[in-house]
Amino acid sequence: MRRGLFVGRFQPFHNGHLEAIRAVLGECEECVIAVGSSQKSHETDNLFTLGERIEMIYETLRAEGLAQRAIIVGIPDINNNSLWVAHLKALSPSFDAVYSNNALVKQLFAEAGIKVKPLKLVKREDYDGTAIRKSMGKTKEWEKHVPPKVKEFVARIDGVERLRQIAEGDKI
Ligand code: NAD
């Protein structure tokens, strides 16, 4: 296949996402990486901006020698699931199949007649966005579950301190 689409929020980009991209690139010449919920940031569940997530992904793929086979796009959410596939298609380069384990994403693409392929979950207990965000600010455990470039990037933008500040605000 020429191009596979991989959709995610990447809050943050972790080793499971990287393995998923490797799997897509094992079957496709190129991978379109659609960064969903692109309008969200500075929330405990959506800590990083679209630009920051693009940097994490791009720097990691460059370090892995995969950047030339990837195209990264941002997709804002819309308040209408039945129109989301058309919305995404308007904002993305064309693709031949979608790779996802997200139930809603799979359902919406399947209903639109687009081929959906599952991904093998890799070390899901560790490589999981929610678990990683929970660990940030408390321990350094999460650093083992993200690519080195993501760890460096989060340190550079003081991301853990951002999470602490936002979580503090949530208690008010
Ligand atoms: P995510 O970052 O949690 O996961 C991205 C993908 O990586 C998923 O397919 C997931 O199964 C896979 N993955 C995660 N951990 C893995 C591991 N350890 N090993 C292998 N694969 C792993 O993102 P998500 O929640 O799937 O993102 C879906 C995006 O689509 C969201 O931004 C959502 O808002 C958007 N969306 C929007 C609408 C709308 O706007 N109406 C509708 C549907 C979906």
Residue 77, domain extent: 3-168
Q: What total of structural domains would you count in the chain?
A: 1
pLDDT digits (tens, 9 = 90+) for 21-55: 999 999 999 999 999 999 999 999 999 999 999 99
pLDDT in tens, 2-12: 999 999 999 99
pTM score: 0.96
Mean pLDDT (the chain) is: 96
Letter for the amino acid at 68? Q
**What confidence score (pLDDT) does residue 171 get?**
55
Work out which ligand 1 atom sits closest to the CA atom of 76: 40
8 Å CB contact between 14 and 107: no
Reply yes or no on whether the pLDDT at 172 is more than 50.
no
Angstrom distance (rounded) from CA 99 to CA 50: 21
Q: Which of 17, 19, 81 to mutate to test the pocket of ligand 1 (most atoms within 8 A of CB)?
A: 17
